Every structure is written in C-alpha cells, then in structure tokens.
Homo-oligomer: A and B are copies of this chain.
Amino acid sequence: MSIKHFIQSQINSNFKLEDELPFPTRIKHLAKNDIITKYHQIEQNAYFLLNGIVKISMIRNEEDERILEFFFPNSFFSSYTSFLTQEPSNVEIQALSDCEVEVIKQSDMQEAYKTSMLANELGRIVAEKYYIHKTNREKDFLTKSATERYQALVNYRPELVQQIPVHQIAKYLGIEAESLSRIRKTIF
C-alpha cells in the first residue's frame, strides 16, 4: 500500500491511483536500527511506512526508555508534535527492521495545505486518528491493569505481540520485563 492507496481507501474513494498527489513524495530505504529522527532534531518529514517496523520512544534517563508507539506498514509516522510546531523533537524514531518508507517533506505539506482540499483532508484525518489513539492509550493507563492492557494487545494487535521482543513490549506497557513474563504465564 502507498500513500495513494491510503487516500483511496481512507479519505476519498474517488481518488484514482493515476491522479497526482498534492505534494511530492520520494521512496527511501532504511536499515535495521537506523535512527530516523533524533532527539532535539526538528522534524522535517512525515513518513508513510511501506514495509518494516518502526518504534517511537522517549528516554527520561539512560536506563529508562519509554516506548510510545510501534508502527507497522500502511500507517503514517513522524515526530508529530515537532512536525507541527517545528520545535525540537521530544522523541526518537528508530527502524526496528529494514524499512521502506514514502517521505513527504514538511515544507511541501505546508505548501499543499494552502491550496489543496485533499491535503487538508488527509492532514485532518491523520491528526484525528493520532488524537483518538493517544486518548485511548491514556484511558487504558488510567483504567486498566497491566494484565488487561497486555490482554488487549493480544486481542487487538496480535501482529505487535508476535513481532516485537517481550522486553520492548514491557517498555510499551510501562512495566518491568519480569512482570510481563509473569503476566504471560498466567495468560498462556
């Protein structure tokens, strides 16, 4: 799936694959463990993940990495607050496997917003999805136990549970790896 396919399926079913996008994009290949966006870097790009897995994390101190999100193919990712505000990024983005991405420059997106309804529609829907996802994750942290949050991952995001190492899932759930091992024993 490409950005054009995403638009056709999620935004506007009248969009045709031979139609032009309202902004230029380019394909980029990344190697496993590449840092895509560094801490304190100003985010210059939005990425659409074609192949591979990507991780966004926040590091409060050396030992204490907090994983905010994993991205799988057919989704947009970037250091989104930095992309929007053009202030230094609070997060780091890293490729967890070899990846293929479609890249939109921030400046090209801003230009497209001035004239293109489709660009604004895309920007609106991506912002809304991010907002909903963030709110749901916050609500889960407030209302569910670690076991319930892990069970929800198993049910609703099996690809995450299958493809991400246990110690990284623990960092995503905000618990120790040993606690997650205990939880997994009670569930399986």
Contact = CB atoms under 8 A, between A and B. Distances in A.
9 contacts: A60-B142, A81-B132, A84-B128, A84-B131, A113-B121, A123-B124, A131-B131, A131-B134, A134-B135
Contacts of A134: 131, 134-135, 138
A9 to B, nearest CB: 17
B124 A120 contact: yes
Interface string A63-100: 00000000000000000110011000010000000000
A58 B127 CA distance: 23
Contacts of A130: 131
A90 B142 CA distance: 12
